[in-house]
Structure 1
Amino acid sequence: MTVQEINKAYNRIEGSLNSKELKNAFDFLQKLIYESKEYSLQDKLTELHDTYKYMLRYRVEGMRDPMQSKIYNDLMASTYELADDLKMRLLLRISSVIYFDRKRIAAYQPLQSYRVLHDELTTAVEVSDYKQVDGLQLNLFNQVWLSGRLTREELSDIRDIFADDTIPFSASCQIVSALLLGLQTCFDDEKVLLLCDAAMSGKDEVRARALIAILITLYLYHKRIGFYPAISNRLEALAERGGFVKELRTIILRFILSRETEKITQKIQNEIIPEMIKMSPKLNKKINMQDFSIDQLGDEMNPDWQNMIENSEFGNKMKEFSELQMEGADVMHSSFIHLKSFPFFSEMGNWFLPFNPHHSAFGSAFGKGSEFDNVLETMALSSFMCNSDKYSLYFSIMQLPEQHRKMMMAQFDSQAMEMIQDRKEEFMPEDKRFEYIVGQYVQDLYRFFKIHPRHLDFLDLFALKLDFHNLPQVKALLSDNESLTIIAEYYLRKGYIDDALVVYERLALSSPDNEELYQKIGYCKQMKEDVQGALEAYLHADLLNGDSKWVIRRIAGCYRALKQPEKALGYYQRYEALSPDNLSVTISIGHCHLELKNFSEALKCYFKVEYLDPESHKAWRPIAWCSFLTGKFEQARNYYGKIMGNAPSLQDMLNAGHTEWALQNVKGAINFYKMAVEADGGDFHKFMEQFTQDIPDLLSAGIEEQDIPLLLDELRYSMDGSL
């Protein structure tokens, strides 16, 4: 069988189990065992099949077994596991993805127990053998990542590593990352429970990674997690720990923010960098660097230069860039995309390693106590660079010529480092420590799943929605209004309207009297172009608070969009009563009257706007058209004359032609019609589409129907130049 055939067969089995079609799953499993000749699994399948048939027989005969629910859950879980086992065996034979490549190689290498690895790590730490520590941590990562189902002894040994405060926390971090990668390949409930143990850690770095790994695993296997009550119980136990909900919320917000990374990368490459390039010659011209002599130079910059930058498009983009960075967005991804080819990153575990200034990779070029230690210590404190990028930066610095490198070191003198140490808390404030750690790890994961040389061998987690708050197992843990409101607001602010709407509607179920929720539900639906749905939400909000001008105007706009001008008019008039000087609303009232063919009332509104705001010219077009419709052709001509001198549109030219025709100025009408055709690239067909729509208005203006084809032919001759 090919890899594609194996995966297709497995997906059929998994799909049947996800739909709780156990009989179909058994049939598909039987077929796959037969086709793959993995007969050693036949007894297990037969046992499961027989158990299910007995359970169904008892039920059909009306016998109620108090253990039926547990038996069914165990059956489902065991069938999932049998399918997993079969798939892993088959793929191990032929799959070329990195997991199976490494697993085949590992089968020929001696395997150390986790107890031995733990003991060796303890000894290496005691003698400060950093190279040995780093090597053992990589061994831990690889062994856990490639492991199958762990024995009770192995599980106990790994828990002992989690609990040991004498070894670096990075060892536990590596185990957690390895568990995450391994679980992506194959589900294992015991490994999920291990992550729950790590999530109880007192070390922020370990706990943050474990919670992220748990959420991702719950997302990937949400259909089957419910069959493992032990996992649900452990999640509930985790939720009892103080600060759990806030930590969960922090992780969810960070993953929402990670959706922006690709946009930010594109913005930097396509907008900010080109603006910098354009800015450079402008600045050089302003400063005129060639005219400077030594005695002309001073410390003070010309404020004009700063103003030129601040008021430019580049200045605006850099301000936006700075705000994104302050928010924790991944603004560095584009800078480090091409800096992951160093030998350090050939070890997969190093992509997830917390930054350590004492890593053995740093000891070859400089001895301990060198000026380069200052650089490493400063990098360790940085909160806006993820761990992976910090390692990349170090190796990039190492490639600089020695002279340039020493110049850089000179910037980190003892006085500067003293200041950095004094302000250490400002680099990563204690109250934001967990948030920064989460942000850095999410970015580490992003780099791995996007740019690791073998990233295509893994499911790209960041191509998934990752809406953790909607998972059945998380909903119960994150049901407080504060958390859901924060998540919804974040989605809304980032423009993820669909996601925001789901959360707002969930909040509305528990807070039916919250007018603001219905306002936002209406807004989200309006953004999705569900005008009727938006209207219903706005009307609900209006019932709760009839004084919101914003809601009243939205309701009016929805009714207009739904071609119900009479109802729209009523709400615009309500708004006008609350804000009589809002000329935009006055124009909208005029439009409603126009649509209702109350032309005289419409003109009153338009003239009011022109009188109160003569500079804006907003009312010219509606006055001109309304004048035409009411037979005030000279008045219409007057206003179209103004419009023609002020960037007329194609429709303006068409309407001006109608007006001239109504005034029996056929030559003038043809000239305007000709302008309209030419303004649309000479496309007479498009002109005719618009012209035809206006024929009823032309007839109402007194144009004889039989004259219409004649004038159009005159226009055609005119376009040919033969009239």
Structure 2
Amino acid sequence: IPENSFPANEISSLFGTSDIKREKEPQHEEALRNSYLQDCYRFFMLYYRSNELHNPFKEDLVILRIPYICNIISKDSGNIAFIASAAFQTNNFSLTAEAFNLMPSAEVLSPESLQIYGSSLLKIGQAERAIGIFRLADTLKPNSLAIMHNLATSYRTTGNREAALNIYAKMMRIAPENMKILFRYGESLFLNGQKAEALKIFYKLEFLEPSSLSAKRAIAWCSLSSKLPEKAEQYYGKILAMTPKAEDYLNSGHTAWCNGNLPLAVKRYKKYIQKTCEGDARLFYLPASDIELLKHYNISENDIQLMKDLLVSS
């Protein structure tokens, strides 16, 4: 704290430190400043009348940007980890990363702090940096499913699907019946083009949790993408009989069309339009990935345009 920022007589009256003598050595001055900072913080946090005074700690995390305080805090990794964790709990991810960036090296952090650091980097779009942090956490705490999940997510975010798949495969060996891991592993297999293997995982998901809509959706879409339209229709029939989302009507419409059932496809597309386009078929839009899938069933872009015209006119 700067020499003149807090009158000495006020410090004495608040903390009873009038008998403390300043040492000339820099290290003692630094220790004294640190002590005053801690006492000041305790006062504003604990004294029942502190709300009558201006509390500099109400702008708590901004203290990182105050040079005098930052110089003290940054020399203690525990202080940094504490402040960063507080920022993370308030969803202030940029400030969390800013706090951890004060560290000369991330290697002194605990696996838990590294988790917070990496997660904040991932949240602010710095997935490449997050990978390095999560890999360090994985080294310090091997076989942690939470760390491995975040590492796999970081790899997926950067487009490294193969690395993500390897992580999920390792997680599967540790927890072969964990539903969330099973789903991510199957999804990762699908994204890596291993659709037959993905389908096996999704069937296992359904076996472990028969009422799971997520498992049924995964089986249906994976089946349709694997040129198994009859199986896809079977599962979309189950989904539509449960609690379907708008997208289920779109995908089941594709499935009906791929099975040659044009009237059923139109019916399902109309249901999708009612739920997403305010009933206006002119707003009906197909993503490029859906168009590519339909092409695999010899449905051309001209056919798709004719379908749109039919939906508008009917």
TM-score, scaled to structure 1: 0.39
Counterpart residue number, 1:204: 14
Check if 1:588 corresponds to 2:196: no
Check if 1:472 corresponds to 2:67: yes
Counterpart residue number, 1:547: 143
Q: Matches of 1:477 and 1:526 in 2, distance apart?
A: 28
Q: Matches of 2:159 and 2:31 in 1, distance apart?
A: 54
Q: Matches of 1:561 and 1:535 in 2, distance apart?
A: 10
Question: Which of residues 234, 238, 249 is equivalent to 1:638?
Answer: 234
Question: Which of residues 248, 255, 264 is equivalent to 2:37?
Answer: 248
Q: Which amino acid aligns with 2:116?
A: K
**Pairwise mapping of residues 570-719 of structure 1 onto structure 2 (< 5 A)?**
570-680=166-276, 681-688=278-285, 690=286, 692-718=288-314
Change (3 A) 1:503 1:194: closer
Q: Matches of 2:39 and 2:218 in 1, distance apart?
A: 52
Q: Note the alpha carbon deviations across 1:440-469, whole angstroms, 9 max, x for none.
A: 42x22359xxxxxxxxxxxxx789677335
Change (3 A) 1:564 1:549: same
Q: Which amino acid aligns with 1:655?
A: N
Q: Matches of 1:484 and 1:711 in 2, distance apart?
A: 59
Residue ranges of structure 2 left out of the alignment (5+ in a row): none
Deviation at 1:232, TM superposition (A): 12
Counterpart residue number, 2:7: 195
**Pairwise mapping of residues 343-492 of structure 1 onto structure 2 (< 5 A)?**
435-437=45-47, 440-441=49-50, 443-445=51-53, 467-478=62-73, 479-492=75-88
Q: Note the alpha carbon deviations across 1:657-677, whole angstroms, 9 max, x for none.
A: 111111111111111111111
Deviation at 1:562, TM superposition (A): 2.6
Deviation at 1:635, TM superposition (A): 1.2
Deviation at 1:538, TM superposition (A): 1.1
Counterpart residue number, 1:524: 120
The answer as to whether partners of 1:661 and 1:669 remain within 8 angstroms in 2 is yes
Counterpart residue number, 2:92: 496
Change (3 A) 1:475 1:626: closer
Deviation at 1:638, TM superposition (A): 1.2
The answer as to whether partners of 1:559 and 1:565 remain within 8 angstroms in 2 is yes
Q: Which amino acid aligns with 2:292?
A: P
Change (3 A) 1:534 1:666: same
Q: Matches of 1:487 and 1:635 in 2, distance apart?
A: 53
Q: Matches of 2:165 and 2:180 in 1, distance apart?
A: 13
**Pairwise mapping of residues 74-113 of structure 1 onto structure 2 (< 5 A)?**
none
Deviation at 1:656, TM superposition (A): 0.8
- Helix, strand or coil at the partner of 1:467: helix
The answer as to whether partners of 2:131 and 2:151 remain within 8 angstroms in 1 is yes
Deviation at 1:679, TM superposition (A): 1.1
The answer as to whether partners of 2:64 and 2:70 remain within 8 angstroms in 1 is yes
Q: Which amino acid aligns with 1:204?
A: L
The answer as to whether partners of 2:127 and 2:154 remain within 8 angstroms in 1 is yes
- Helix, strand or coil at the partner of 1:614: coil
- Helix, strand or coil at the partner of 1:468: helix
Change (3 A) 1:700 1:514: same
Deviation at 1:236, TM superposition (A): 6.7
Q: Note the alpha carbon deviations across 1:654-701, whole angstroms, 9 max, x for none.
A: 11111111111111111111111111112434422x255411101102
The answer as to whether partners of 2:152 and 2:168 remain within 8 angstroms in 1 is yes
Q: Which amino acid aligns with 2:216?
A: W
Q: Name the structure, 1 or 2, with higher relative contact order (CA <8 Å, separation 6+).
A: 1
Check if 1:560 corresponds to 2:156: yes
Equivalent residues, number: 307
Counterpart residue number, 1:110: none
Identity of paired residues, percent?
26
Change (3 A) 1:193 1:501: closer
- The structure with more radius of gyration: 1
Q: Which amino acid aligns with 1:499?
A: L
Change (3 A) 1:520 1:634: same
Change (3 A) 1:636 1:469: closer
- Helix, strand or coil at the partner of 2:7: helix
The answer as to whether partners of 2:282 and 2:312 remain within 8 angstroms in 1 is no
Q: Which amino acid aligns with 2:165?
A: L
Question: Please, what is the CA RMSD of the aligned residues?
Answer: 3.3
The answer as to whether partners of 1:508 and 1:518 remain within 8 angstroms in 2 is no
Q: Note the alpha carbon deviations across 1:388-439, whole angstroms, 9 max, x for none.
A: xxxxxxxxxxxxxxxxxxxxxxxxxxxxxxxxxxxxxxxxxxxxx78422x6
Q: Which amino acid aligns with 1:615?
A: S
Q: Note the alpha carbon deviations across 1:126-160, whole angstroms, 9 max, x for none.
A: xxxxxxxxxxxxxxxxxxxxxxxxxxxxxxxxxxx
Deviation at 1:235, TM superposition (A): 9.2
- Helix, strand or coil at the partner of 2:143: coil
Counterpart residue number, 1:304: none
Q: Matches of 2:268 and 2:107 in 1, distance apart?
A: 58
The answer as to whether partners of 1:515 and 1:545 remain within 8 angstroms in 2 is yes
- Helix, strand or coil at the partner of 2:243: coil
Deviation at 1:519, TM superposition (A): 2.3
Q: Matches of 1:683 and 1:622 in 2, distance apart?
A: 29
The answer as to whether partners of 1:204 and 1:434 remain within 8 angstroms in 2 is no
- Helix, strand or coil at the partner of 1:703: coil
Q: Which amino acid aligns with 1:641?
A: G
The answer as to whether partners of 1:501 and 1:525 remain within 8 angstroms in 2 is yes
**Pairwise mapping of residues 2-13 of structure 1 onto structure 2 (< 5 A)?**
none
Q: Matches of 1:620 and 1:193 in 2, distance apart?
A: 65
- Helix, strand or coil at the partner of 1:631: coil
The answer as to whether partners of 2:23 and 2:29 remain within 8 angstroms in 1 is no
TM-score, scaled to structure 2: 0.83
Q: Matches of 2:14 and 2:207 in 1, distance apart?
A: 66
Q: Which amino acid aligns with 1:444?
A: E
Deviation at 1:564, TM superposition (A): 2.5
Deviation at 1:541, TM superposition (A): 2.2
Deviation at 1:651, TM superposition (A): 1.5
- Helix, strand or coil at the partner of 2:102: helix
Change (3 A) 1:194 1:696: closer
The answer as to whether partners of 1:513 and 1:544 remain within 8 angstroms in 2 is no
